[in-house]
C-alpha cells in the first residue's frame, strides 16, 4: 500500500510535467525555424509566446470626431470680490436752486357802468382796482364804451389808461384818439356822433399788489381840445386780466 508522502510527491511531479512545456519552448522566427542552431528562450510569458507565434494586429484608421456634448450646468456663484478703492475727488459742482411753481390760475376782473354819461374833457373817466398776484406777469386791459368828440375847428381828444396814476411804460402807453379835421360852423351843431369804441393793450412791469387801473381823457399833442363825451346812453366796462410772461 502507497504511503501518503509518496502520493503527494507523485501529484507534484504531475503538475511540474504539465507546466514545464510553457517555460521551456523553443522559439524561432522566419526561416530560422528549421535551422539546427536555433536558440532557445526560456522564462518568457505566455503573452510573448503568442505574439511571436501569431504576430501582432495593425491599428485601424481613426474614427470620425464625436458630436459636442450637452452644455454643463451652471457652476456655483463665486464669492464677492474685494471692494475697490475710492475714486479721485470730483470737481466742485454748481448749486442750482429749483423753483417749483404752482400751475397758473386765471386772475381777472370786470367793472361795468350803465349809462356813464361823463362829459368831461380833461380828467379821470372811470377806475377799477385790481389785485395783481405776481410781479413777473403782464396786465391786459380793455375799456369798451361810446366815445364822442365835436368842435368848431380842428380838434383832438385822447383816451388812455393809467396804472397807479402813471401811464404804462412797458413798453408804451395804452391809448386811443379821436381827431376832427373840420368842426361844425356852430359849436352846438347837429354833428354829434357817439360811437362805441375800445381802448386796449398789454402792460408789463407793474408790481404785484393792489393796482388802481383808470381810464382818462385828455388832449393830443399840438392840437386843441374839443367837446368830449364818454359812455353816453350805453354800458361801459373795464376788463383787467393778469397774464404770464
Q: Which of 2-16, 48-62, 142-156, 186-200 has the lowest mean pLDDT?
A: 48-62
3-state helix, strand, coil split of the chain in percent (to 5) is 15, 35, 50
What is the rounded CA–CA span in Å between residue 215 and residue 229? 13
Cβ atoms of 138 and 218 within 8 Å: the answer is no
What are the pLDDT digits (tens) for 106-126?
999 999 999 899 999 999 999
Q: Binning pLDDT at 50, 70 and 90, where does residue 136 land? A: very high
Q: Higher-confidence residue: 50 or 130? A: 130
Report CA-CA distances (Å) from 40 to 29, 34, 35.
Answer: 12, 13, 12
Checking DSSP bridges between strand 195-204 and strand 137-150, what pairing results, if any? Answer: antiparallel
What are the pLDDT digits (tens) for 58-100?
677 888 888 888 888 888 888 888 888 888 888 887 766 555 5
Cβ atoms of 135 and 227 within 8 Å: the answer is no
Sheet holding 123-132, edge to edge: 123-132, 209-219, 155-163, 175-180
Query: Model's pTM, two decimal places?
Result: 0.58
pLDDT at 41: 46
**Domains along the sequence of the chain with CATH:** 107-244 (2.60.120)
Amino acid at each position: 500500500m502507497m504511503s501518503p508522502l509518496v502520493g503527494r510527491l507523485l501529484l507534484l511531479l504531475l503538475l511540474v510535467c504539465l507546466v514545464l512545456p510553457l517555460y521551456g519552448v523553443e522559439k524561432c522566427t522566419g526561416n530560422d525555424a528549421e535551422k539546427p542552431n536555433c536558440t532557445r528562450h526560456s522564462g518568457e510569458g505566455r503573452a510573448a509566446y503568442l505574439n511571436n507565434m501569431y504576430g501582432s494586429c495593425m491599428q485601424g484608421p481613426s474614427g470620425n470626431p464625436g458630436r459636442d456634448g450637452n452644455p454643463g450646468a451652471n457652476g456655483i456663484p463665486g464669492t464677492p470680490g474685494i471692494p475697490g478703492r475710492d475714486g479721485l475727488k470730483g470737481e466742485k459742482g454748481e448749486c442750482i436752486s429749483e423753483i417749483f411753481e404752482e400751475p397758473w390760475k386765471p386772475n381777472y376782473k370786470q367793472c361795468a357802468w350803465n349809462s356813464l354819461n361823463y362829459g368831461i374833457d380833461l380828467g379821470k373817466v372811470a377806475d377799477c382796482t385790481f389785485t395783481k398776484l405776481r410781479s413777473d406777469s403782464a396786465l391786459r386791459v380793455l375799456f369798451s364804451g361810446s366815445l364822442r368828440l365835436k368842435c368848431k375847428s380842428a380838434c383832438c381828444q385822447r383816451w388812455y389808461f393809467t396804472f397807479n396814476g402813471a401811464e404804462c411804460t412797458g413798453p408804451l402807453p395804452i391809448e386811443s384818439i379821436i381827431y376832427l379835421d373840420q368842426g361844425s360852423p356852430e359849436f352846438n351843431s347837429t354833428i354829434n356822433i357817439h360811437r362805441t369804441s375800445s381802448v386796449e393793450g398789454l402792460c408789463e412791469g407793474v408790481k404785484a399788489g393792489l393796482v388802481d387801473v383808470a381810464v382818462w381823457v385828455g388832449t393830443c399833442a399840438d392840437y386843441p381840445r374839443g367837446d368830449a363825451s364818454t359812455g353816453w346812453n350805453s354800458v361801459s366796462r373795464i376788463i383787467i386780466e393778469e397774464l404770464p410772461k
